[in-house]
Structure 1
Amino acid sequence: MATKTPPGSGRSLTTRLKTAKGRTTASQLWLQRQLNDPYVKAARERGLRSRAAFKLIELDDRFKLIRPRMRVVDLGAAPGGWTQVALERGASHVVGIDLLPIDPIAGSTLLQGDFQDPEAERAVLDALDGQADLVLSDMAPNTTGHNATDHLRIVALAELSLDFAQKVLAPGGGFVAKLFQGGTEKTMLDALKRDFAVVRHAKPPASRKDSAELYVVATGFRGGKAG
């Protein structure tokens, strides 16, 4: 569905807040942006739980990540938008895990917990009933406003996601994780190039223009730590 133009883009009137009473300036700006974001409107119209769902749609349109009957793990799955997209695009089963509770989604298993916990890892594999074909992570830490610190934090989170993927992926599988612009740290990039046949970076159109986020997309898992 996704194209290079936002869903529902075109000439439209700007919606303004009826009242700013009791709201901080930052809150007002966020609400104003949400009201006028075509992806927010399109997500609501399609019954998707987040505008971020369109990021996975656009990544999948470009890289053909999701295939019928795949087993998919969605790390940091709340509120469930990426899980919905994976199921819509043919995954036979999706296991999502997050520290926050997630409302049920038909066809998926949604777990509450820390994916770094060995028990959570076993629970994911039990729910998949086998190794994963694709591991997705749209996780990002709370930003501090200090670019260097935020970059290091999100790389660390992506590295943890990669370590998890190396344990659960089947040969030939794929891995997608969010980063911030500034590049992948060398140790992570070396691991990706060692364990995957193809490694690319992409910023889907649904990523806001003022956002520093981009995604690493690795395909053709060679085996690594999985076994």
Structure 2
Amino acid sequence: MAKDEPPRRGRVTKPDTSEQHMRLMDQKVKTARKRKHSSTLWLRRQLNDPYVAKAKAEGYRSRAAFKIQELDDKFRLFRPDSLVVDLGAAPGGWVQIAMERGARAVIGIDLIFVEPIGGLDFVQKDFMDPDAPAVIEKMLGGAPDLVMSDLAANTTGHRKTDHLRTVALVEAAADYAMSSLKPGGHFVTKVFQGGAEKALLDRLKAHFKTVKHAKPKSSRDGSPEMYLVALGFKG
């Protein structure tokens, strides 16, 4: 869903987080009989999140659009006429930013269907399926300039299990990036609990010129998520 006036590159307008504004946004969610308490808390958080409201006002599909926007402002991830792979593309907020900032096309993959976006070539599929990289490669028709991953495992409530699942996704995304990127390309992925594992960091540092962790301001307070950015693939 295109906007009439997309934001300028390098500029992020901060939501109004003043005390008066936040009081006005402090909406309460009535607890339905069949709704879990955790679901009620999630709904209230969504209603009271200024970035959720800002995304809706500006035509972005999710608040996550501001995260990749901030990361691009800092690291210059998107190049003019770039070819981008988006792992975990739903609902499409990152795709929207990629197209606004000069990408010629985005190849997206996700288990959840993504409504059409201009410039997006999408496949509804689990990235962890053995044939997923081959499917993406066929859709690409060439090496990508950027691989970005916002993949997240479904949580079980068991901290160790959830951590291992997340680590597996990050490693799979990194493996794909290092096997597909063109020289000079970039890779960005979501990580949790203090950042990437040391073994993965060492591998990335051996294949990229610069590897850094970053936490966008648009990430929720208290969220364990952060992002790993690897720049300048050595090939």
Is TM more than 0.5 here?
yes
Q: Distance in 2 between matches of 1:76 and 1:183?
A: 19
Q: What's the CA shift string for 1:27-59, capped at 9, x where partnerless?
A: 221111111101100111111111111110111
For the 8 Å contact 1:93–1:128, the answer to whether it is kept is no
Alignment of 1:140-179 (within 5 A): 140-179=152-191
Per the alignment, in what secondary structure is the counterpart of residue 140 of structure 1? coil
One-letter identity of the residue aligned with 2:30: T
Match of 1:14 among 6, 25, 32: 25
Deviating more after overlay: 79-88 vs 136-145: 136-145
- With over 3 angstroms needed to count, the CA separation of the structure-2 counterparts of 1:220 and 1:113, relative to structure 1, is same
Report the counterpart of residue 4 of structure 2 in structure 1.
Answer: none
Q: CA deviation at 1:118?
A: 5.1
TM-score normalized with structure 2 length: 0.87
Report the equivalent of 2:104.
92
- List gaps (5 residues or longer) in structure 1: none
Indicate the SS of the match to 2:145.
Answer: strand
Cα RMSD of the aligned pairs, angstroms, is 1.7
Structure 2: segments with no counterpart, 5+ residues: 1-10
* Whole-angstrom CA distance in 1 between matches of 2:143 and 2:205: 21
> Secondary structure of the residue that 1:170 maps to in structure 2?
coil
TM-score (norm 1): 0.90
The Cα shift of 1:197 comes to: 0.5
5 Å matches for 1:109-148?
109-117=121-129, 119-148=131-160
Instruction: Kindly provide the amino acid, as one letter, of the partner of residue 58 in structure 1.
Output: E
Q: Is the strand fraction higher in 1 or 2?
A: 1
Q: 1:151 to 1:117 in 2, by over 3 A?
A: closer
Answer whether contact 1:177 1:217 (CA < 8 A) is retained.
Answer: yes
Does the 8 Å contact 2:30/2:40 carry over to 1?
no
Structure 1 position 180, deviation (Å): 0.8
> Which of 174, 197, 202 is residue 190 of structure 1 equivalent to?
202
| Residue in 2 that maps onto 1:2 | 12
Equivalent position SS for 1:126:
helix
